[in-house]
Structure 1
């Protein structure tokens, strides 16, 4: 059995969420709200978008030494604070304004505060991203992302991505708290450190949790390595194991195509084609 749904902005209005939307109130309190799956995928996508912005800003500053300007591929104004041109930490402010602007066809408002403890290409360096009155396409995002270089083999750069105090508020006002950590390895583009578009990243392991406003907890664990291309806004391949309440299934991101499509298959065999 297959169904098709569109999520992220219409979480409970789709056929995908028939369990939580058609169940009685008493049933809802005893099961994980399945809309948490859609929220979780959106949370992961927005985390990757913000890391992509951080990497762009850090790399641009390394090349030009002039981060205090509006970058050609960002609609935001970028400023930097540091003791001198070669010192760390460097603190960047990426300001999309209170009115917002469109960045790569995605509307953003507010600020990202990006702190580099050292060059992100150096083992041990950390990039911390804090969200300040920040939203993407009207969805409010809060929390901190820590992106730490944990490389032990120079030819295979490795990072950890840790999300703390994550809070995702959708257009209907539903709130999803989230946290987690994943391991990231760069498998392409290593030879061109100042060119980002050829970078490809793999996420071989990691877990994150999403807690809805009802207190229902959903845990998502990497089951099959996730593939993320810098040039694409979405994860293009891999699988996540989904567990929580009545949910027990797998999210499949597809065959490495750059698109927003994915599939959720529950243990009972019911499968949903989804678009974010």
Structure 2
């Protein structure tokens, strides 16, 4: 009888152990899937922050360049901006403050719906080879995402390649309608490689390099370093080529924006060789 009881206890213990192992295995698989989905979501979100930064940089550079070219202190409306954009200026002898107002109802600019204001300022010195531009955002939204922050831009009239160059010090927070939130700090260098001086901003092309950190509201932090320069064509919403090294605590890999197509596709290759396609919104 004792032998039978011992056998039954052993069988029950084995069954219980097996159940626990299977349960843990399933829980681990579920956790891994959830983590993987979160990783992809955060990579996509960070790429969307890139697009927001690009749109902001385009507008600031376009308005600044048009205003500086006039040298009159009067408002200069860039010809390729729609009528729903209102520009005002405070002009002093060696100082400019320009407000770009997109209104509170939404204004479509190059495929983005913008609301709120961008306020930029700089000290004028026509003889200086470097100029500092600062801007801040006021109740600003792009494609229903709230954007908070300020930036400093150092413009070099001519870099080692003979091209104008803008070094951006980044400090922005983006909040999605669903509550997702990401903050970014770092440095981006924009070299103006095509279209400078043409008077038509839509033909401009920039190459972007640099490094930055994106921190999500859940505490996850991604670090980014440009490996191959990112090609920014003003007529396209996203980068059309270039690669970025991405690292986080539990994964890393390479984000590749493609071979030059003007689309919303990118590829992420994890360090283990797994590759996924990313669709940017």
1:222-247 per-residue CA deviation (whole Å, 9 max, x = no partner) reads 01111112333321110000100222
* Partner residue in 1 for 2:98: 92
The answer for unaligned runs of 5 or more in structure 1 is: 1-21
1:15-39 per-residue CA deviation (whole Å, 9 max, x = no partner) reads xxxxxxx538xx86xx985422112
Task: Determine the C-alpha separation between the residues in 2 that align with 1:171 and 1:129.
Answer: 24
* Partner residue in 2 for 1:224: 228
Q: Whose relative contact order is higher, 1 or 2, with alpha carbons under 8 Å and at least 6 apart?
A: 1
The aligned runs of 1:177-216 (5 Å cut-off) are 177-190=183-196, 192=197, 194-203=199-208, 205-216=209-220
Instruction: Check the 8 A contact 2:188/2:211 in 1, yes or no.
Output: yes
The answer for unaligned runs of 5 or more in structure 2 is: 1-29
Higher helix fraction: Structure 1 or Structure 2? 2
Task: Give, in angstroms, the shift of residue 69 of structure 1.
Answer: 5.7
* CA root-mean-square deviation: 2.7
Aligned CA distance change for structure 1 residues 23 and 185 (closer, same or farther; 3 Å): same
Aligned CA distance change for structure 1 residues 132 and 126 (closer, same or farther; 3 Å): same
Are 2:163 and 1:156 equivalent residues in the alignment? yes
1:233 to 208, 231, 237: 237
Task: Give, in angstroms, the shift of residue 89 of structure 1.
Answer: 2.3
Task: Give, in angstroms, the shift of residue 149 of structure 1.
Answer: 1.4
The aligned runs of 1:51-70 (5 Å cut-off) are 51-63=57-69, 65=72, 66-67=74-75
Instruction: Check the 8 A contact 2:170/2:188 in 1, yes or no.
Output: no
Are 2:152 and 1:143 equivalent residues in the alignment? no
Instruction: Check the 8 A contact 1:70/1:78 in 2, yes or no.
Output: no
Task: Give, in angstroms, the shift of residue 153 of structure 1.
Answer: 4.0
Task: Give, in angstroms, the shift of residue 70 of structure 1.
Answer: 8.5
Aligned CA distance change for structure 1 residues 256 and 124 (closer, same or farther; 3 Å): same
What TM-score, normalized to structure 2? 0.78
Task: Determine the C-alpha separation between the residues in 2 that align with 1:97 and 1:78.
Answer: 11
Are 2:110 and 1:101 equivalent residues in the alignment? no
* Partner residue in 1 for 2:133: 127
Aligned CA distance change for structure 1 residues 121 and 243 (closer, same or farther; 3 Å): farther
Task: Determine the C-alpha separation between the residues in 2 that align with 1:42 and 1:170.
Answer: 10
Are 2:53 and 1:44 equivalent residues in the alignment? no
1:58-111 per-residue CA deviation (whole Å, 9 max, x = no partner) reads 23324555426686523311111122xxx3321111111122222223211111
1:171-221 per-residue CA deviation (whole Å, 9 max, x = no partner) reads 21121111110222222234x254433322112x31111111121110011
Q: Which has the larger radius of gyration?
A: 2
